[in-house]
Amino acid sequence: MYKLLNQRKNTTYKSKFFMRNYLKSLVLLSVLFASNITQAAIGGDFSLIDHNNNKYSLSGSSNVKLIFFGFLNCPDVCPTTLSDVSNLLKKLEGLAKYVDPIFITIDPSRDTPELMKNYLSFFDKRIIGLTGSQEQIEEVSNQYHVYYSYQDKEENNNYTVNHTANMYFLDKDNNVEKIFIPGTPFTEFYKYINRYMLKDIKNLPLQ
């Protein structure tokens, strides 16, 4: 009897263990499936005003794009990202002319085209600053699943903005090829884009 009870206990334990792992697998598959759907839904064409007060349309350029969202008064994340993009353009050398590095402000009421031009030129004059109405910025942010919120905006003009800090790498057809999350090492960031560019334009003369 004692032996039989032990066998039943072992069988029950194994069944519970199996079901627990089976359910975990189902949850994991669901997350992966949802992630694929989410990534497929990210992106899309848009038109905004650049830092020279000209219209910029995503579909109007045949370059690959590197898009990131931020604001000029950002104390740390945005300057770090801009420095990485500047270093990327330098290391790409001749390949850099096939990249549109795009900074989209999430603070259009303060970040005017003129201010963006002065600020971005400190990092690299090739970085394209884009702005628009609050409604336009909201629409583009939603397209790329970018979250942002203003902190104490109603109380003073020195407010800060919490925001998603991903970088979106788009192919020439403006499909999202890769999303770089915050904290991605620069070497990984550079190697991926450099390898992609070499493969993508290997038949074009580099100058």
- Give the range among 36-40, 188-192, 201-205 with minimum mean pLDDT: 36-40
Q: How far is CA 23 from CA 16, 20, 27, in A?
A: 10, 5, 6
CATH of residue 179's domain is: 3.40.30.10
pLDDT in the model for residue 184: 93
* 1, 102: one domain: no
The Cα–Cα gap between 189 and 181 comes to 10
121 lies in some domain: yes
Assigned domain for 191 exists:
yes
Whether 30 and 71 share a structural domain: no
pLDDT of residue 180: 96
Q: What is the pLDDT of residue 37?
A: 41
Confidence band, pLDDT 50/70/90 cuts, at residue 23: very low
Residue 131 predicted with pLDDT over 70: yes
Say if residue 114's pLDDT is above 60. Answer: yes
Residue 175 clears pLDDT 50, i.e. is over it:
yes
pLDDT tens digits, residue range 41-100?
899 999 999 999 999 999 999 999 999 999 999 998 999 999 999 999 999 999 999 999
Are both 120 and 67 inside the same structural domain? Answer: yes
93/182 same-domain check: yes
pLDDT for 158 equals: 80
Q: Which residue has the higher pLDDT, 18 or 46?
A: 46
Residue 65 lies in a domain: yes
Q: Is residue 52 part of a domain?
A: yes
Order of strands, sheet of 176-180, starting from the edge strand that comes earlier in the sequence: 55-57, 47-50, 128-131, 99-105, 64-70, 167-170, 176-180
The answer to whether position 93 is within a domain reads yes
For residues 20 and 91, membership in a common domain is answered with no
Is residue 28 domain-shared with residue 76, that is, in the same domain?
Answer: no
Output the pLDDT for position 150.
87
Q: Which residues contact 34 (CB under 8 A, 6 or more apart)?
A: none
Lowest mean pLDDT segment, chosen from 35-39, 86-90, 109-113, 176-180: 35-39
Are residues 59 and 16 both part of a single domain?
Answer: no
* Total number of domains constituting the chain: 2
Does 84 share its domain with 3? no
Count of positions (residues) in the chain: 207
What angle separates helix 77-92 from helix 113-123, to the nearest 10 degrees?
60
On whether both 104 and 148 belong to a single domain, the answer is yes
What would the mean pLDDT of 164-186 be, rounded to a whole number? 94
55 with 120, same domain? yes
Is 206 a domain residue?
A: no
Residues 6+ apart with CB under 8 A from 128: 50, 51, 56, 100, 101, 102, 103
Considering the domain architecture, whether residues 18 and 62 belong to the same structural domain is answered as no
Which pLDDT score, from 0 to 100, does residue 201 have? 65
Is residue 134 in a domain?
yes
Kindly state the percentage of the chain with pLDDT values over 70: 77
Pick 96 or 38 by higher pLDDT. Answer: 96
Are 5 and 103 within one domain? no
* Residue 142 φ/ψ, nearest 5 degrees: -65, -40
Q: Which of 56, 143, 60, 49 is nearest to 105 (CA)?
A: 49
pLDDT at 81: 95
Which of 2-40 are b and which e, b meaning 16 or more Cβ less than 10 Å from the residue's Cβ?
eeeeeeeeeeeeeeeeeeeeeeeeeeeeeeeeeeeeeee
Q: Which helix (H) or strand (E) holds 129?
A: strand 128-131
- Evaluate whether 109 touches 134 at the Cβ level (below 8 Å): yes
Tokens of 190: 């550079």
Range of the domain at 110: 47-200
Q: Give the pLDDT band of residue 24 (cuts 50, 70, 90).
A: very low
Average pLDDT value for residue range 123-145: 96
- Does 207 fall in a domain? no
